[in-house]
Structure 1
Amino acid sequence: MNMPLEMDPALIRARAAADALRGAPLQERLNELHVLMTRIRDRQEDIVTRIMADTCKSRTDALVSEIMGVLDYLHWLVKAAPGALGEEKAATPLALMGKKSRIWYEPLGVVLVITPWNYPFHIAMTAIAPAFAAGNAVILKPSEHTPLTGLFEELVDGLPWLSRALLVEQGDGARAESLIAARPDKICFTGSTRTGQRILAQAAPLLVPVELELGGKDAMLVFDDVNLARTCAGALWGAFTNAGQSCTAVERLYVQDSIYDEVVARLRAGIDALVVNDGDDGDADLGAMTTDFQCDIVERQLADARAKGAIVHGGGRVAGTRLLRPALVTGVTADMLLMQEETFGPVLPVLPFRDEQDAIAQANDSVFGLSASVWSKDIERARRVAAALRVGAVSINNVMLTEGNPALPFGGTGQSGYGRVKGIEGLRAMTRSKAVLIDSQSKKIEANWYPYTRAKYRLFGELIGGLFGRGLGALLRFARAGLKLENLAQKPRHPDA
């Protein structure tokens, strides 16, 4: 039997939870998030093991990027939410003297969170938590490749509000489509650009707002005044953390030509020293890839690069596994797939640039615009270059670090999506702002109300001239016209007025 889309059981339960949440004080919701934070901290080894089982990432990657990142965000959120979500005073113009202006941040209702397989715990939690803090119910649709079966339900079990507000719906893309069709109040999607476009196309006719955090092709720009040892270490980690399966991984390394050869030599030595293994106890640098299809994409891009004349140092797949050895690619040209598409694997192309303008031009020559990094001892130059990059975030003399600060917003531009998560901007994105203007109850008739008369028209002209004029004389003209208008507004229309 086919049921109406609006009758989807998950949406019915979520809407009931959202209605109930409207009676939950903010502090009670934040107290539950604090308990959640404690549970994650106390169960971190178990959670890491379960993340590794689903993703095949290295243990250290799972601990630092998934557990530590979530705890850091929850710690910030519990402290920041009262100020960010509380009633906000807004300036009231002189023409509205005596009135008060306020902004209220109210919950949306039901937020559908669709998460990817690369950071299945971190991305889910940093969407669930702000949505719940803002008073929303949440439906989580994890990737079918990394379902983390039962984990989220276990972590919120016994928390009166959060256990009711969070619903986990497992399934593939068809289940995501049915949830979208049931009209949630907002969709937060993290994943590929292609899937994001399909979600947007489905949601648009329903007028359901969508937040999209999509693919990246992040550039790292290295000038010739850097500390080479530190910068190369940063490049290796930025390219290969989580086996390169990060939307903000370094996928294009631009090095000033005067130090290019030395940087390449250091990177080759660094790649040879990396430990690639899965199921480790914390001593592997790179774990395995999460899916076979992503292994195929990486291998296809490297084969295309070789066929077009590139030199590949490293690379290759350990037979019978999803372990990919990290690869350094030189002799890169713009027509290669690894320069046109997101790689999402342990591959680092290295290209030279001449000067500041050349570096900016090459970095901006991409349909993606998620984040980037600029490396230089000259901070003014680094800031200048950062300002010229068409991306949503820039780390200066570090890599992938803006997302490490929960107070900063995260999101991109172009084919990397739009909207922001994290920070005050991301938290308020889980709300609907309501403008409120408060006046006192009295018998006074407003000057701009009916009746309109020639006398009022003349006085409004004088009031505008005074209000937007300059100097004390203008202010006096405004006050004089305003008093006359107030007085005239209290009188009935005169036949000769």
Structure 2
Amino acid sequence: MEDAPGAREAFERARAGFEAHRGLGVRERLAALSTMKAVILERRDEIVERVMAEVGKSRTDALIAEIIGTVDWISWLERHAAGLLKPRKVKTPITLLGKKSMLLRRPLGVVLVICPWNYPFHNAITAIAAGVVTGNAVVYKPSEHAPCEGLVEEMLACSEVLRDLVHVVYGDGSMGRALIDEGPDKVFFTGSGATGAKIMSQAGAKLIPVELELGGKDPMIVFADAPLERPVAGALWGAFTNAGQSCSAVERLLVQSPVYERFMERLIEEAGKLVVRPDDKGDADIGRMTAGFQRDKVIAHVEDALARGARLRFGEVPGRDSLVVRPVILDGVTPDMAVWRDETFGPVLPVMPFADEAEAVRLSNDTGYGLCGSVFTADRARALRVTEALEVGGVSINNVNMSEGNPGLPFGGVKKSGFGKLRGPEGLLGFTVSKAVLIDKATSKIEANWYPYTEEKHRRFNRFIDALYTGRRPRLPGIARHGLGLERFSQRPRSRG
């Protein structure tokens, strides 16, 4: 593999690739992505090994999140991208009678994608695929904490189109700043809120649009009428998948008071069955954490909670000598504790009881974050009420993290969790700019709203407005009579005064 380019060289290559391939249609771009999908499937064991080595996730975790999620997105694009990106007719109002309207979707140009370390392959390929299929070139920078150097390039090597359009750059935050200085047409960033704020500030000074997918403090609400087994299992997986290093992990568990103690007993019992072991053969549930600084944040949150009166119901305070961090379950937590207030991004699950629906919603929304949430109940009407009330970008009902799992649904948050969407029609179209088109006939006619303006034309416009907008319903004969009269009058030449 040739040496990775610097910031300026990457954009020069990307802009040259954009110009060279801007005539390609959606089907041709999809063909390149389909070829890459086949390579991913063929080499999935190798990809999983690389991700495990750098990130530390369990083998099955890596297979599901990094491979299935990625391939599922490309498959969705194969089915839907062409239809979403084709020119669309738009209804033209009667005030523009005789004209036609349409909406075009065009690529932005060269987009910059900056991804975090927790899902290094999935995040990279899904964003790259969206950028390519919409006609853009892509400059991609992975996190320096899990760059998986060369892996993305090996996937792109299957297609000349992909090699020309996508360019990978490695480095830390200073490289990210240098890339933004090169003037991308849009920045797509996934990562922490602190870094997202810096990117937004730098890009804003250059009027570069940004989309930010930031952290979360996702609530999971369990009502007393929910069958116990499913939410218990869902809470464990939702909180501890990828060692809790997921922006949409369950970071706050709310359980209705009548079943709280029984739920906790079962939760602790099942947590004891989890297998935590790095470098597994597919037989471990949780691997290791990725970075020491993130483990230290977990330690700080747990120690703060215990010092403020929380109870350690399962696990232990992690040590600083290993990245293997076993799950921690806390209760007796209060809203002022860091573990309840701030994103932990590790295998820690704080649990709190609630009395009724109103309190569950209030506690869930009492945060600056708003990424995802989940609701477990046998009452469908209540599930939908609570879903509507939660201040988040996505909700899973009687499931966890699954609104994110459907490639046809947009993923993104509100409040400090960012703005903009990934995946789904909304996310795909975020890689495009819309172009509004109105089509008229090539004639010598003068538009009624063009000059000259006269007192008579003013009166005729008023009569046309009355016919069109007043009364219980539009009266087509009157609209037509006044509209045609206005059109005929507008063709008369202005009389000389």
Q: What TM-score does the superposition give when structure 1 sets the normalisation length?
A: 0.97
Distance (whole Å) between structure 2 residues aligned to residue 158 and residue 423 of structure 1: 26
Spell out the pairing of 1:350-429 with structure 2 (5 A cutoff): 350-429=351-430
Using the TM superposition, give the Cα deviation of residue 7 of structure 1 relative to its aligned residue in structure 2, in angstroms: 8.6
Query: Which residue does the alignment assign to 1:24?
Result: 24
Using the TM superposition, give the Cα deviation of residue 162 of structure 1 relative to its aligned residue in structure 2, in angstroms: 1.1
Query: Which residue does the alignment assign to 1:241?
Result: 241
Distance (whole Å) between structure 1 residues aligned to residue 161 and residue 106 of structure 2: 17
1:125 aligns with 2:128: no
Q: Give, as a single letter, the amino acid of the residue that structure 1 aligns with 2:373.
A: A
Query: Which residue does the alignment assign to 2:216?
Result: 216
Query: Which residue does the alignment assign to 2:322?
Result: 321
Query: Which residue does the alignment assign to 1:273?
Result: 273
Distance (whole Å) between structure 2 residues aligned to residue 73 and residue 24 of structure 1: 21
Q: 1:318–1:325: 8 Å Cα contact kept in structure 2?
A: no
Query: Which residue does the alignment assign to 2:458?
Result: 457
Listed one character per residue, the Cα deviations across residues 361-414 of structure 1 (whole Å, up to 9, x for unaligned) are 000000000000011000110000000000000000000001110000000000
Q: 1:70–1:125: 8 Å Cα contact kept in structure 2?
A: yes
Using the TM superposition, give the Cα deviation of residue 495 of structure 1 relative to its aligned residue in structure 2, in angstroms: 4.4
1:178 aligns with 2:178: yes
Spell out the pairing of 1:82-231 with structure 2 (5 A cutoff): 82-231=82-231
- Partner SS, residue 227 of structure 1: coil
- Partner SS, residue 392 of structure 2: coil
Query: Which residue does the alignment assign to 1:299?
Result: 299
Larger mean CA deviation between 206-215 and 462-471 belongs to 462-471
Q: Give, as a single letter, the amino acid of the residue that structure 2 aligns with 1:36.
A: M
Distance (whole Å) between structure 2 residues aligned to residue 329 and residue 351 of structure 1: 9
Spell out the pairing of 1:340-355 with structure 2 (5 A cutoff): 340-355=341-356
Distance (whole Å) between structure 1 residues aligned to residue 475 and residue 318 of structure 2: 77
Query: Which residue does the alignment assign to 2:488?
Result: 487
Distance (whole Å) between structure 1 residues aligned to residue 293 and residue 253 of structure 2: 25
Using the TM superposition, give the Cα deviation of residue 472 of structure 1 relative to its aligned residue in structure 2, in angstroms: 7.0
Distance (whole Å) between structure 2 residues aligned to residue 473 and residue 117 of structure 1: 59
- Partner SS, residue 409 of structure 2: coil
Q: Give, as a single letter, the amino acid of the residue that structure 1 aligns with 2:42.
A: D
Using the TM superposition, give the Cα deviation of residue 494 of structure 1 relative to its aligned residue in structure 2, in angstroms: 2.1
Q: 1:271–1:314: 8 Å Cα contact kept in structure 2?
A: no
Q: Give, as a single letter, the amino acid of the residue that structure 2 aligns with 1:418.
A: F
Listed one character per residue, the Cα deviations across residues 114-156 of structure 1 (whole Å, up to 9, x for unaligned) are 0000001111111110111000000010000111111111111
Residues 495 and 365 of structure 1, relative CA distance in 2, 3 Å threshold: same
Distance (whole Å) between structure 1 residues aligned to residue 258 and residue 496 of structure 2: 86
Q: 1:255–1:353: 8 Å Cα contact kept in structure 2?
A: yes
| Count of residues paired in the alignment | 491
Q: 2:7–2:178: 8 Å Cα contact kept in structure 1?
A: no
Q: 1:469–1:475: 8 Å Cα contact kept in structure 2?
A: no
Using the TM superposition, give the Cα deviation of residue 476 of structure 1 relative to its aligned residue in structure 2, in angstroms: 2.3
Q: Give, as a single letter, the amino acid of the residue that structure 2 aligns with 1:143.
A: S
Query: Which residue does the alignment assign to 2:250?
Result: 250
Q: Give, as a single letter, the amino acid of the residue that structure 1 aligns with 2:288.
A: A
Using the TM superposition, give the Cα deviation of residue 271 of structure 1 relative to its aligned residue in structure 2, in angstroms: 1.3
- Partner SS, residue 113 of structure 1: strand
Q: Give, as a single letter, the amino acid of the residue that structure 2 aligns with 1:401.
A: M
Residues 492 and 417 of structure 1, relative CA distance in 2, 3 Å threshold: same
- Partner SS, residue 251 of structure 1: strand
Task: Tell me which stretches of 4 or more aligned residues in structure 1 moved more than 2 Å.
Answer: 315-321, 469-477
Query: Which residue does the alignment assign to 2:3?
Result: none
Q: 1:108–1:432: 8 Å Cα contact kept in structure 2?
A: yes
Q: 1:466–1:476: 8 Å Cα contact kept in structure 2?
A: no
- Partner SS, residue 403 of structure 1: coil
Using the TM superposition, give the Cα deviation of residue 471 of structure 1 relative to its aligned residue in structure 2, in angstroms: 5.6
Query: Which residue does the alignment assign to 1:72?
Result: 72
- Partner SS, residue 272 of structure 2: helix
Listed one character per residue, the Cα deviations across residues 293-338 of structure 1 (whole Å, up to 9, x for unaligned) are 0000001110111111111121343674200010000110112111
Using the TM superposition, give the Cα deviation of residue 347 of structure 1 relative to its aligned residue in structure 2, in angstroms: 0.4
Distance (whole Å) between structure 2 residues aligned to residue 421 and residue 488 of structure 1: 52
Larger mean CA deviation between 408-417 and 470-479 belongs to 470-479
Distance (whole Å) between structure 2 residues aligned to residue 150 and residue 470 of structure 1: 68
Query: Which residue does the alignment assign to 1:331?
Result: 332
Distance (whole Å) between structure 1 residues aligned to residue 175 and residue 102 of structure 2: 40
Q: 1:216–1:416: 8 Å Cα contact kept in structure 2?
A: yes
Residues 267 and 100 of structure 1, relative CA distance in 2, 3 Å threshold: same
Query: Which residue does the alignment assign to 1:3?
Result: none
Listed one character per residue, the Cα deviations across residues 238-258 of structure 1 (whole Å, up to 9, x for unaligned) are 000000000000000000000
Q: 1:465–1:474: 8 Å Cα contact kept in structure 2?
A: no
Q: Which runs of 5+ in 1 are unaligned?
A: 1-5
Q: Give, as a single letter, the amino acid of the residue that structure 2 aligns with 1:348.
A: L
Listed one character per residue, the Cα deviations across residues 459-484 of structure 1 (whole Å, up to 9, x for unaligned) are 00011111113467733222111111
Q: 1:331–1:351: 8 Å Cα contact kept in structure 2?
A: yes
Listed one character per residue, the Cα deviations across residues 249-308 of structure 1 (whole Å, up to 9, x for unaligned) are 000000000000011111111111111000001111100000000000001110111111
1:49 aligns with 2:49: yes
Distance (whole Å) between structure 1 residues aligned to residue 48 and residue 28 of structure 2: 28
Q: 1:371–1:392: 8 Å Cα contact kept in structure 2?
A: yes
- Partner SS, residue 285 of structure 1: coil
Q: Give, as a single letter, the amino acid of the residue that structure 1 aligns with 2:465.
A: I
Distance (whole Å) between structure 2 residues aligned to residue 42 and residue 7 of structure 1: 32
Distance (whole Å) between structure 1 residues aligned to residue 354 and residue 321 of structure 2: 39
Q: Which runs of 5+ in 2 are unaligned?
A: 1-5
Distance (whole Å) between structure 2 residues aligned to residue 57 and residue 410 of structure 1: 22
Listed one character per residue, the Cα deviations across residues 25-74 of structure 1 (whole Å, up to 9, x for unaligned) are 11100111111111101110010001111101100010001100001111
Listed one character per residue, the Cα deviations across residues 191-241 of structure 1 (whole Å, up to 9, x for unaligned) are 000110011011101000010000100000000001101110011000000
Listed one character per residue, the Cα deviations across residues 86-111 of structure 1 (whole Å, up to 9, x for unaligned) are 00111100111111110000000011
Using the TM superposition, give the Cα deviation of residue 160 of structure 1 relative to its aligned residue in structure 2, in angstroms: 2.0
Query: Which residue does the alignment assign to 1:475?
Result: 476
- Partner SS, residue 359 of structure 2: helix
